[in-house]
Amino acid sequence: MPHLHINSFKKIDFPLHEGNVTFDFLAKNIKHTEEQLVSVNIEGTEFFLLSIEEEGRSLLKADKLSRPSSTYLVHQALLSYAKISQMEILSSNVVNGKQNMHLESITALKDIEYFATNFPTDKEVYIEVGFGSGRHILHQAKNNPDILFIGIEIHRPSIEQVLKQISIQNIENLLILDYDARLFLEQVPSNIVGKIYVHFPVPWDKKPHRRVISKKFLDEAARVLKVGGQLELRTDSENYYAFSYETFISRTKVKLQINKNQDIAIVSKYEDRWRKMEKNIYDITMINDEESELLHVSDNFDFIEISATPQMLVELNGVIKKFDDGFIHIERVYNVENKDAMVFRISMGSFDRPEHLYVIINGKQTRYFPKMPLKSSANLAAHKILNEMLHG
């Protein structure tokens, strides 16, 4: 992750503009004074820089929850802040250079709101979860121009690598999303997806709750797949294969195909390596043979006017509220300097797939940051409880 090690963090006079970068405010953690957030806006892209005081020096980096998919924007923000604050840089992995020409005008990279508000339905849809180097999804998109491919990935270098190839190869039927695939499926309309590829997911042997394959994921996959549509799992992990098979077969009704060491049209560089090592490759394919009910989600994420006092808001730090299907947790509270404003870092939604984001309270206005939560039933229930907490 891009970062600067600096002699000590220096504040600037907020708000301040440096070229196309705007630094809006500084927010201090009320419990851990060594931690501060710097609000950044670069041509409409908003995120936080995170400053942490360490022994003998400070660290300035992109905040993990809000950082944009573009590493170039993070580099730009870090270097701009260091320049205008005149901080002494002790070490850095930030590159001071121009943006790659193939990333200057990106149309393939979409945010979750694009899919949540107006999901494209003019073509059959194929989805790949965790595309890695992109070799498979680029090959499929190039050879199937009449199908819309959606690639989901959270690894920033992989995203930028594929975006470059989309530009170089002039591929127009591939969209990229930086998001949790488990949450994304809840926004996909029913009965429109032809294939879902889950090729070589992280096994998470020590943290099985983080695995992509789960009962909930399979339920959503069955809903979005058209009749005859397929979910294709491919793994080199015997543990993951065994776990996944048990999860698939536990469904009330399921049609499966099982293959071992099956050849496919295009393989990843990792599969090339594993084949040379003579590792076994396992495939489980779930074939959907039923039409699902249409997706319908009501309600919204509007905030009511806050009536809780500043002290009451401070006291929400660390508070957890649970309900049948999920929870809301105020993980950290920050005071914004020189403003009647606060920032909450929260986790919310279902226990197995929570969302992590911020809430900015600025006078009478409250908003989620850097994006809205997905309209899932658990998130909407958590939002309702959050409103009650802010109302005092």
Residues 262 and 149 in one domain: yes
Which sign, positive or negative, has the C-alpha torsion 231, 236, 238, 240?
Answer: negative
Dist. CA 332–CA 317, nearest whole Å:
6
| Element (DSSP H or E) covering residue 72 | helix 71-85
Which sign, positive or negative, has the C-alpha torsion 216, 218, 223, 224?
Answer: positive
Query: Which of 369, 374, 347 is closest to 47 using CA atoms?
Result: 369
Decide if 43 is inside a domain.
Answer: yes
* Residue that is last in its domain, among 226, 254, 287: 287
Dist. CA 390–CA 153, nearest whole Å:
34
Decide if 298 is inside a domain.
Answer: no
**Strand spans (E) along the chain:** 3-6, 16-18, 21-29, 35-42, 45-54, 57-62, 89-92, 109-110, 124-129, 147-152, 174-177, 193-199, 225-235, 256-260, 282-287, 320-323, 326-336, 341-349, 354-362, 365-369
Instruction: Write out the two tokens for 288.
Output: 């959907």
pLDDT for the residue numbered 94:
83
Residues 49 and 168 in one domain: no
* Residue-range definition of the domain harbouring residue 48: 3-92
Residues in the chain, total? 392
Decide if 301 is inside a domain.
Answer: no
Decide if 75 is inside a domain.
Answer: yes
3-state secondary structure of 106: coil
Q: Give 292's DSSP letter.
A: P
Decide if 98 is inside a domain.
Answer: no
The low-confidence residues of the chain, meaning pLDDT below 50, are 103
Residues 116 and 50 in one domain: no
pLDDT for the residue numbered 97:
57
Residues 238 and 347 in one domain: no
Residues 145 and 211 in one domain: yes
Q: At what angle do helices 156-169 and 71-85 cross, to 10 degrees?
A: 120
Residues 37 and 181 in one domain: no
Residues 232 and 356 in one domain: no
Residues 180 and 140 in one domain: yes
Residues 336 and 251 in one domain: no
Query: Which of 224, 274, 214 is closest to 247 using CA atoms?
Result: 214
Decide if 296 is inside a domain.
Answer: no
The number of folded domains in the chain is 3
Dist. CA 191–CA 193, nearest whole Å:
6
Contact call for residues 207 and 174 (beta carbons, < 8 A):
no
Contact call for residues 28 and 319 (beta carbons, < 8 A):
no
List, in sequence order, every residue forming a beta bridge with 110; answer none if it has no partner: 177
Q: At what angle do helices 156-169 and 135-143 cross, to 10 degrees?
A: 30
Dist. CA 274–CA 2, nearest whole Å:
31
Q: What is the CATH number of the domain that holds 205?
A: 3.40.50.150
* Residue that is last in its domain, among 52, 69, 92: 92
Contact call for residues 112 and 121 (beta carbons, < 8 A):
no
List, in sequence order, every residue forming a beta bridge with 28; answer none if it has no partner: 36, 335
pLDDT for the residue numbered 250:
96
Tens of pLDDT along 59-114? 999 999 999 878 889 999 999 999 999 999 889 888 765 555 554 556 899 988 88
Decide if 210 is inside a domain.
Answer: yes
Residues 87 and 228 in one domain: no
Residues 122 and 176 in one domain: yes
Whether the bond into 15 is cis, omega within 30 of 0: yes
The answer to whether the predicted template modeling score (pTM) of the entire model surpasses 0.85 is no
Residues 160 and 13 in one domain: no
Tens of pLDDT along 114-154? 898 889 988 999 999 999 889 999 999 999 999 999 999 98
Name the percent of the chain in helix, strand, coil, to the closest 5. Answer: 25, 35, 40
Decide if 225 is inside a domain.
Answer: yes
Instruction: Write out the two tokens for 44.
Output: 């409409």
